[in-house]
Amino acid sequence: MLLETEGLTKRFGGITAVDGVDFALEAGELCSIIGPNGAGKTTFFNLLTGVLEPSDGRIRFDPPADDGARAEAGPTAAGGAASAAANGTGSAVDITAASPDETALAGIHRSYQITNLFPTLSVLENVRVAAQASRGNDSWKLWRNVTEFEDHYAEATAILERIGLAAEAETVTENLSHGEKRSLEIGVALAGDPDLLLLDEPTAGVSSEGVDEVVALIEDVAADHSVMLIEHNMEVVMDISDRIAVLHRGELIADGPPEDVRGDEAVQEAYLGGYGREGSAGDGSAVGGDADGDADGDAGADRDGDAAADGGRRASVGGDTR
Amino acid sequence: MIVGFLLYPLVYEALLATPAAPFAEAFLPAITFMVVVLYMGLFAMSFDFVSGYTGYLSFGHAAFFGTGAYFVVLAANGQVPGVPGGTPFMITLLLGATLAGLLALVIGSVSFRLTGVYFAMITLGFAQVIYELIRSWGYVSTNPTEGATVSGDALAIGVPYVDALSLDVGRLTGESVENLLGLGIDLSATVVSYYALGVVVVGCYFAMQRIIHSPFGRVMIAIRENEERARAVGYPTYRFKLAAFAISGFFGAIAGGIFAAYSRSVAPDGTFYFLVTADALITTIVGGFGTLAGPIYGTLFNQGLEDVLSTESGGIATLLREGLPPSVLEADLFGVSLELFVNTAVDGRAPLYLGIIFVLFVLFVPNGILGTLRDRLGGTVGKRLPYHLRRYRR
């Protein structure tokens, strides 16, 4: 297993945003996380990347050992998690208490629901500075000009070509269109050469024509990365996911292949609201709330104050639950 | 820029020998003011290094300036344990700067747990604590509120232990050079100090410039732009901020050290006091935040204004008083004579106008002198100027 969580729980005061989630991801999978706003999806990502510290439970991460292309985690790479990953032992490391920079060096990178880039830097520099981070000691070389590090620029240029922004390399990031910023979000996450890529609503606010481009990019990236995807657009989710996990009020209520999840009663009730049941909702509209307008919907989970009271309802779907 | 600074004293001296002397004296800053531009400019640059590039406002920066200044003076008087009295100035300067770098690590390790306005406030708090401490620390001198003075020989900038390659600095104690390189140019003590300090400042400027353009500098900028994302792509930002703060403290102390060597006395109010930081802040904003060279322009601007409005001879007030016929001076202007008006509204009123100009800058030129210039040219001056000049030649 690439990633495993065990009874992962996050409480904000009396509110349980993520409630005892047991989840596992195989290397190479594309797993979508769906659920209504406030279900705890982004909180789940924040726990995995170390932005928030879990109240309870464990996270184990086991990156592939033979990832020789990465020259990361020099002596300055912080924490046991990162150095163990770089040693290539292949043994799982516990990243429960790791900080965001440690999880990033271990190989987990993410994109954000709300565009979160370096606004006044050029597009190329956004990706380059992210690529520099995974090259250990380079960032501490005070006395060498940054242009001497040609491999940083080569990698950044390659990534810009992959995400289709090569022509905008010198553009100041804040002048990009919204759709281009969404692509660059993924590009910056890619620059760290992730073993696991967490994409938080990559299509948020993208026009319907733009969605196809972003989806094509996700599929391209998923071909050589393990991906976890938070997405409200059900057509996209059903189309590209190997597996779907459904969060509701902080709990994992379903976890399995798309067709199984679609037919699951509990999921239908909690989230899908009839999607795909009689072929009635095949219009690809986002369900479970406004995908783009409600930016902070997941973070607080404050509208689900009775999450804990609703405990115990969990459906196992298909043969994929452990 | 550097060439301008290099030639300025010669041009200034030459102008004083021409009939335009009264105007040159009134409108151009005197060399003594230019020396202030050098060390205050370096201090403002060190402030800009951390504040303009990582986005953390170091309101306690005077602590580093003071550390450098006091260390140099105390070392010259043999009062620093482990540093014998005769240690060359260049060595004590570096030691003092290193000490300030360590002090920055200590202050930073606490302060960088906070962000934004709270970071600014806690660094200010640290500096004020040190200021009060120095003010009442009897070891420094018998009258610590008045500060300490160098009792021995002049301090020399140059290669340690090689007299021929060292120049004594100081307005009264400095070396003067007669018939420089056989060119028939005589340099006064102040001008020699100006050049000696200038060498240090230029060296420090290039060092900081180099760090800004290194991979490390790019991380500093990434932290300023978006610290959350910088962490998410894998930078332990706390360490980078600490390192940047220590480097900034190091150069801030160099500025303090050369100030002490030149003035030969230090007082708590001129070094550790928070208004010293405010000076750096104002000049940095006028010159251009996050441009590194900008603060020098800002300091030049401020000091130039101060010189023009100075009460000492060589200000615009003197020029008016001496240059205008008595009938004009006594002319009635809203019920007061013009002379009285000049005395109240012009003479030594630099801080007033500086305040007004500062407000105007913040409102209308938020990027400062150099920042705006770069925006207009579309790049750094050195890179874009040739292109624009070519356009004009056609």
Rounded distance between C-alpha atoms, residue A278 and residue A257, angstroms: 19
A308 located within any domain: no
Q: List the single range of A147-151, A266-270, A272-276 with lowest mean pLDDT.
A: A272-276
pLDDT at A316 over 60: no
Are A139 and A158 found together in one domain? yes
CA distance B214 to chain A (A): 5
**Residue-wise pLDDT tens for chain B (394 aa)?**
778 888 888 788 778 777 777 777 777 788 888 999 999 999 999 999 999 999 999 999 999 999 999 999 999 988 888 888 778 899 999 999 999 999 999 999 999 999 989 999 999 999 999 999 999 998 888 888 888 888 877 788 877 877 767 778 877 677 777 666 666 667 788 888 899 999 999 999 999 999 999 999 999 999 999 999 999 999 999 999 999 999 999 999 999 999 999 998 899 999 999 999 999 999 999 999 999 999 999 999 988 888 887 766 566 777 777 777 777 777 776 667 777 777 777 776 777 888 888 899 999 998 999 989 888 887 777 777 777 777 776 6
Rounded distance between C-alpha atoms, residue B175 and residue B192, angstroms: 7
CB A72 within 8 A of CB A23: no
List b or e across A132-168, with b for residues whose CB sees 16 or more CB atoms inside 10 angstroms: bbbbbebbbeeeeebeebeebbebbbebbebbebeeb
Are A229 and A100 found together in one domain? yes
CB A96 within 8 A of CB A59: yes
Token pair, residue B96, equals 């003092």
Number of other residues whose CB lies within 10 A of the CB of residue B97 = 25
The one-letter amino acid code at A148 reads: E
CB A120 within 8 A of CB A172: yes
Predicted pLDDT at B342? 74
pLDDT at A91 over 70: no
Token pair, residue A81, equals 């998690």
pLDDT at A300 over 80: no
A75 located within any domain: no
Query: Chain A residue with minimal CA distance to B243?
Result: A140
Predicted pLDDT at B73? 93
Yes or no, beta carbons of B232 and A104 under 8 Å apart: yes
Predicted pLDDT at A274? 64
**H-helix or E-strand containing B240?**
helix B237-263
Residues of B within 8 A of A149 (CB-CB) are: 215
Are A164 and A237 found together in one domain? no
Predicted pLDDT at B311? 64
CA distance A319 to chain B (A): 35
A132 located within any domain: yes
Residues of B within 8 A of A115 (CB-CB) are: none
**H-helix or E-strand containing B148?**
strand B148-149
State the total domains in chain A.
2
pLDDT in tens, A98-146: 999 999 999 999 999 999 999 999 999 999 999 999 887 889 998 899 9
Predicted pLDDT at B182? 60
DSSP SS3 for A130? helix
Half-sphere exposure of A94 (CA within 13 A, CB side): 8
pLDDT at A30 over 90: yes
Residues of B within 8 A of A124 (CB-CB) are: none
Q: Backbone phi, then psi, for A243, in 5-degree steps? A: -150, 155
A293 located within any domain: no
Residues of A within 8 A of B223 (CB-CB) are: none
Please indicate whether residue B207 or residue A64 has the higher confidence score (pLDDT): B207
Across residues A175-198, what is the average pLDDT?
94
Q: Backbone phi, then psi, for B322, in 5-degree steps? A: -85, -30
Yes or no, beta carbons of A100 and B232 under 8 Å apart: yes
Yes or no, beta carbons of B234 and A142 under 8 Å apart: no
CA distance B322 to chain A (A): 53
Which pTM was predicted?
0.86
Predicted pLDDT at B207? 96
Residues 6+ apart with CB under 8 A from B41: B201, B283, B295, B296, B299, B300
pLDDT at A89 over 70: no
A139 located within any domain: yes
CB A49 within 8 A of CB A108: yes
Are A113 and A166 found together in one domain? yes
Are A96 and A14 found together in one domain? yes
Yes or no, beta carbons of A142 and B235 under 8 Å apart: no
Burial class (CB in 10 A: 0-12, 13-18, 19+), B194: buried
A250 φψ region: left (φ > 0), alpha (ψ -120 to 50), beta (else): left
Alpha carbon of residue B379 to chain centroid: 25
Let me know how long chain A is.
322
| B232 interfacial to chain A (CB closer than 8 Å) | yes
Please indicate whether residue A237 or residue B392 has the higher confidence score (pLDDT): A237
Are A34 and A99 found together in one domain? yes
Token pair, residue A303, equals 């509208």
Three-class secondary structure assignment of A234-297: HHHHHHHCCEEEEEECCEEEEEECHHHHHHCHHHHHHHHCCCCCCCCCCCCCECCCCCCCCCCH
Yes or no, beta carbons of B233 and A109 under 8 Å apart: yes
Half-sphere exposure of B255 (CA within 13 A, CB side): 34
A152 located within any domain: yes
Please indicate whether residue A315 or residue A94 has the higher confidence score (pLDDT): A94
Residues of A within 8 A of B216 (CB-CB) are: 139-142
Yes or no, beta carbons of A146 and B215 under 8 Å apart: yes
Token pair, residue B102, equals 């360590």
Residues of B within 8 A of A172 (CB-CB) are: none
pLDDT at A308 over 80: no
A68 located within any domain: no
Which CA distances in Å does A83 have to A75, A101, A198?
Answer: 8, 12, 21
Query: Chain A residue with minimal CA distance to B211?
Result: A142
Predicted pLDDT at A18? 94
Are A125 and A181 found together in one domain? yes
Instruction: Name the residue range of residue A103's domain.
Output: 1-63+92-107+197-205+224-274
Predicted pLDDT at A90? 55
Are A24 and A1 found together in one domain? yes
User: Where among A235, A256, A274 does a domain terminate?
Assistant: A274
Predicted pLDDT at A69? 43
Predicted pLDDT at B26? 72
Residues of B within 8 A of A129 (CB-CB) are: 218-219, 221-222, 230, 233
Are A247 and A179 found together in one domain? no
Interface size, chain A vs chain B, as Cβ–Cβ contacts under 8 Å? 100
Across residues A218-229, what is the average pLDDT?
93
Yes or no, beta carbons of A134 and B237 under 8 Å apart: no
Are A38 and A52 found together in one domain? yes
CB A83 within 8 A of CB A107: no
Are A148 and A244 found together in one domain? no
The one-letter amino acid code at A93 reads: V
CATH number of the domain within which A119 lies: 3.40.50.300
Are A126 and A97 found together in one domain? no
CA distance A118 to chain B (A): 5
Predicted pLDDT at A76? 39
Token pair, residue B33, equals 């003011």
A47 located within any domain: yes
Helix H segments across A165-207? 178-191
